[in-house]
Amino acid sequence: MTQIAAIEAAGLVKAFGRLRAVDGIDLRVRQGEIFGVLGPNGAGKTTMLRMLATLLPVDAGQARVLGVDVAREPHRVRQLLGITGQYASVDEDLTATENLWMFGRLQGLRSRDARASAKRLLEQFGLADAGGKRLKEFSGGMRRRLDLAVSLITRPPLIFLDEPTTGLDPRTRGQMWDTIRGLAADGCTILLTTQYLDEADQLAGRIAVIDHGRKVAEGTPDELKASVGNSTLQLRLAPGADAELAREIVRRAAGAEPVLSPERGGLNVPLQDAGRAADVLIGFREAGVPIASVSVDRPTLDEVFLALTGHGTGSETEDAELEVAAG
Amino acid sequence: MSTTTVAPPSAGIPPRWADPAAAVAATRPRVSVFETAGQTLVMAWRALKKMRRNPEQFFDVTIQPLLFTAMFAYIFGGAISGNVRGYLPLMIPGIVAQTVLTTCMSTGVQLREDMEKGVFDRFKSLPMARIAPLAGPMVADLVRYLIAAGLTFATGAAIGYRPGGGAFGVLGAMVLSVFTGWALAWIFTWFGTIASNARMVQGLSMMILFPLTFLSNAFVPVSTLPGWLQAFVRVNPVSHLVSATRDLANHAVISSEVGWTVLACLAVIAIFAPLSVWGYKRQL
């Protein structure tokens, strides 16, 4: 039996003036999976999510959420999904309990039920002691958890998470990941945007990579990483080393094109096999190229990007502006 | 007692749909009038909570009636009516109208400020009536109009105003001005939904309010004005509100002015409520 897709989008377009923030994206998310949308700032992730959540009108193409058309029946779609944004969308002047109660009431719960659901969610998210506190006293992590709790009041079958861990410290980030896994185990379908490859890797069953409003790749985390190698050799040449010679050695020893990293004298080398790092280093020693530091790491989003698009994640400032425009 | 690990019955918590198709089938195509009213009241509750926690929001409805009433009475009283006491029946209803109008201007400014916060994103993403986030704060603002009108009459009474219409007259005047304030607030709410920032709403509103309140019969007898200005003053809806308020407070008479004022208010609501919802939706 074929199930209807949780999300099905075809040729989705959103333009802000001359800028096509989302430029013809097709997407198919199956029920019950965690689907990651990976891309740098300004790639169009948030804009796409907002269109699917009926927060932005669709300029061209169409999208269905559990078979319901986003443009034609937005009110229905809003009943099927919960969305948690990059910036916590909860009321700063109210307490955590009041927030949960209010959003429960707005979605048709009776007052008593809204109170019960607020209590349950506060406990579930480890906020039971903070229920009476106003949000001004909340930390970033607590705010984010409350925001997610608000999205779950009506237990919608679909949850959109827009960069759920951006700006969180590593510990809170781990907690958020556990929560997201718990939701998926509960049967929720989750659409998640992130700028972090490891986050998509940790959580998502499938990932779409978005760049400049277009989908440049889609697959399981393993498939995507295979395209950039399993690890990265990060080298820093000592001052005065011959960079051209160094690149030549890398090409010969690793069979891969080195990537200049932002810091002075930095070279990143994608490797299919971490063992090849030794060959590169031996090559350097034999040629007498001095090295300041060496490390072997997992590929970064930058490298995935480079491999998929032929350019890096791009100039930060320009893209940040686009994200604001897409806001 | 069985010891199965079945989850406890969820008190008032909606079920997690085992089958999303069932969740789809349970969706409603649109918001009912009943739901809209409920959501508006919840939004009013939110606005009242915020008012209680930010008492500086009450400055305009407390300081202005106290200050303006006393100030205008002592400055203009002698010049216009010969003495302060004789001026009060003319001026107090004028001040009531002016205060209520300024109060409803802040409705738009506050809505604009509020809409810039992240929480409005949440309101937009919920399956709720689009008019509720606009109408809710306006319902809560009824409290502010009531304070403004009440304090003005009280200040007037303190400096010697004895309304000829008695308690019922004054009550009627207050009800009328509160209703007018609420109706006119839709204009400023509309500004709030279309302007790009709160300062713009403020500027736009001032530009409209000042001529409307001062080019009326609120503070001076119309006969003292040049002919061309009299023409404008006579059609100015604020003049009708002031006359109606005077008729009620000073004579306990429900005159045709009251009728005109209510009619004008209804027209304003009919035009600007849909415009506001349109402006709000356009921001999505």
Interface of B with A (CB under 8 A): 10-18, 20-21, 23-24, 26-31, 35, 38-39, 42-43, 45-46, 49-50, 53-54, 117-128, 132, 284
CA distance A300 to A310: 15
Q: Considering chain A, what is the average pLDDT of its residues?
A: 85
Q: Which CATH superfamily is domain A229-298 in?
A: ACT domain (3.30.70.260)
Q: Residue A313: is its pLDDT beyond 60?
A: no
Contact A259, A305 (CB under 8 A): no
Q: Residue A27: beta bridge partners?
A: A9
**Closest to A151 (Cα-Cα) out of A98, A90, A213:** A90
Q: Does A92 touch chain B (CB under 8 A)?
A: yes
CA distance A238 to A267: 11
CA distance B145 to B167: 18
The three-class DSSP label of residue B186 is helix
Tell me the shortest Cα–Cα distance from A106 to chain B, in angstroms. 5
Contact A10, A71 (CB under 8 A): no
Q: How many domains does chain B have?
A: 1
**CATH topology for the A7-225 domain:** Rossmann fold (3.40.50)
Q: Residue A81: is its pLDDT beyond 60?
A: yes
CA distance A303 to A161: 24
Q: Which helix (H) or strand (E) holds B142?
A: helix B132-158
Contacts of B17 (CB under 8 A, 6+ apart): A155, A157, B23, B26
- Helices A45-52 and A316-326, interaxial angle, to 10°? 10
Residue A66: which of B16, B20, B123 has the nearest Cβ?
A: B20
Q: B118 contacts in A (CB within 8 Å)?
A: 85, 87-90
Q: Does A54 touch chain B (CB under 8 A)?
A: yes
Q: A155 contacts in B (CB within 8 Å)?
A: 13-17
The three-class DSSP label of residue A68 is strand
CA distance A107 to A115: 13
C-alpha dist (Å) from residue A268 to A226, A298, A311, B48, B251:
17, 11, 14, 58, 89
Q: A85 contacts in B (CB within 8 Å)?
A: 118, 121
Q: Residue A10: beta bridge partners?
A: A62
Q: Considering chain B, what is the average pLDDT of its residues?
A: 86
Report ipTM (2 d.p.): 0.83
Contacts of B116 (CB under 8 A, 6+ apart): B197, B198
Q: Residue A320: is its pLDDT beyond 60?
A: no
Q: What is the pLDDT of residues A112-138, one digit of tens each?
A: 999 999 999 999 888 999 999 988 888
Q: Residue A75: is its pLDDT beyond 90?
A: yes
What is the arithmetic mean of pLDDT over B274-282? 91
Q: Residue A307: is its pLDDT beyond 80?
A: no
DSSP track, B199-255: HHHHHHHHHHHHHHHHSSSSSS-GGGS-HHHHHHHHH-HHHHHHHHHHHHHHH----
Q: Which chain B residue shows the shortest CA-CA distance from A134?
A: B53
In this structure, what DSSP letter does residue A2 have? P
In this structure, what DSSP letter does residue A95 have? B
Provide the pLDDT confidence category of residue B4 given band limits of 50, 70 and 90.
Answer: very low
Contacts of B211 (CB under 8 A, 6+ apart): none
Provide the pLDDT confidence category of residue A325 given band limits of 50, 70 and 90.
Answer: very low
C-alpha dist (Å) from residue B175 to A15, A228, B95, B261:
49, 73, 15, 12
Tell me the shortest Cα–Cα distance from B284 to chain A, in angstroms. 5
pLDDT of A107 reads 92
Planar angle of CA A13, A18, A21, nearest 5 degrees:
40
Contact A49, A21 (CB under 8 A): no
What is the arithmetic mean of pLDDT over B164-174? 91
Residue A108: which of B29, B30, B35 has the nearest Cβ?
A: B35
A-B C-beta contacts closer than 8 Å? 124
Q: Residue B196: is its pLDDT beyond 50?
A: yes
CA distance A298 to A296: 7
Percentage of chain B beyond pLDDT 90 is: 40
The three-class DSSP label of residue A209 is strand
DSSP track, B109-141: HHHHHHHTSTHHHHHHHSS--TTHHHHHHHHHH
CB-CB under 8 Å, B128 with A157: no
Q: Residue A191: is its pLDDT beyond 70?
A: yes
What is the arithmetic mean of pLDDT over B96-103? 87
Tell me the shortest Cα–Cα distance from A10 to chain B, in angstroms. 21
CB-CB under 8 Å, B16 with A186: yes
- The residue written with tokens 């997407």 in the block is A27
CB-CB under 8 Å, B30 with A93: no
Residue A116: which of B11, B27, B35 has the nearest Cβ?
A: B11
Q: What is the pLDDT of residues A145-174, one digit of tens each?
A: 899 999 999 889 999 999 988 888 888 888
DSSP track, A240-309: T--HHHHHHHHHHHHSS--EE-SSTTEEEEEESSTTHHHHHHHHHHHHT--EEEEEEEPPPHHHHHHHHH
Give the lowest-confidence range in A145-149, A293-297, B229-233: A293-297
Asked whether residue B200 is domain-assigned, the answer is: yes
Q: Does A187 touch chain B (CB under 8 A)?
A: yes
Q: What are phi and psi of A193, to 5 degrees?
A: -105, 150
Instruction: Indicate which of A75, A90, A92 best probes the interface with B, i.e. most B CBs within 10 Å of its own CB.
Output: A75
Q: Which chain B residue shows the shortest CA-CA distance from A92?
A: B119
pLDDT of B9 reads 40
What is the arithmetic mean of pLDDT over B179-207? 90
What is the arithmetic mean of pLDDT over B170-186? 93
Q: Which chain A residue shows the shortest CA-CA distance from B17?
A: A157
Three-class DSSP labels, A96-147: HHHHHHHHHHHCCCCHHHHHHHHHHHHHHCCCHHHCCCEHHHCCHHHHHHHH
Residue B46: which of A66, A88, A102 has the nearest Cβ?
A: A102
pLDDT of B13 reads 52
pLDDT of A302 reads 66
Q: Residue B2: is its pLDDT beyond 50?
A: no
Q: What is the pLDDT of residues A212-262, one digit of tens each?
A: 899 988 988 888 877 777 778 888 888 878 888 888 888 888 877 787 776
CA distance B186 to B180: 10
**Closest to A32 (Cα-Cα) out of A117, A159, A151, A132:** A159
Contact A107, B128 (CB under 8 A): yes
Give the lowest-confidence range in A123-132, B16-25, B181-190, B208-217: B16-25
Asked whether residue B19 is domain-assigned, the answer is: no
pLDDT of A310 reads 65
Q: Residue A275: is its pLDDT beyond 90?
A: no
What is the arithmetic mean of pLDDT over B106-114? 87
* pLDDT winner (highest mean) among A80-89, A191-200, A302-311: A191-200
Q: Is A224 exposed, middle or buried (0-12, 13-18, 19+ CB in 10 A)?
A: buried
Q: Residue A53: is its pLDDT beyond 80?
A: yes
Tell me the shortest Cα–Cα distance from A184 to chain B, in angstroms. 12
Q: Residue B10: is its pLDDT beyond 70?
A: no
**Closest to B188 (Cα-Cα) out of B275, B258, B270:** B275
C-alpha dist (Å) from residue B176 to B96, B97, B265:
10, 10, 10
CA distance A251 to A269: 9
Percentage of chain B beyond pLDDT 70 is: 93
| Neighbour order of strands in the sheet with A259-260 | A259-260, A266-271, A231-237, A291-297
The three-class DSSP label of residue A38 is strand
Q: Which helix (H) or strand (E) holds A35?
A: strand A34-38
Residue B49: which of A88, A98, A150 has the nearest Cβ?
A: A98
Q: A6 contacts in B (CB within 8 Å)?
A: 20
pLDDT of B268 reads 93
More confident position, A50 or A239:
A50
In this structure, what DSSP letter does residue B284 have? -
More confident position, A313 or A319:
A313
- Ramachandran region of residue A290, left (φ > 0), alpha (ψ -120 to 50) or beta? beta
DSSP track, B54-97: -GGGGHHHHHHHHHHHHHHHHHHHHHHHSSHHHHHHHHHHHHHH
CA distance B284 to B282: 5
Q: A55 contacts in B (CB within 8 Å)?
A: 121, 124-125, 284
**Closest to A33 (Cα-Cα) out of B23, B22, B126, B20:** B20
Q: Which domain holds residue B256?
A: 31-282
Q: Where are the domains of chain A?
A: 7-225, 229-298
Q: Residue B3: is its pLDDT beyond 60?
A: no
Q: What are phi and psi of B149, to 5 degrees?
A: -65, -45
Q: Residue B6: is its pLDDT beyond 50?
A: no
CA distance A176 to A141: 9
CB-CB under 8 Å, B28 with A89: no
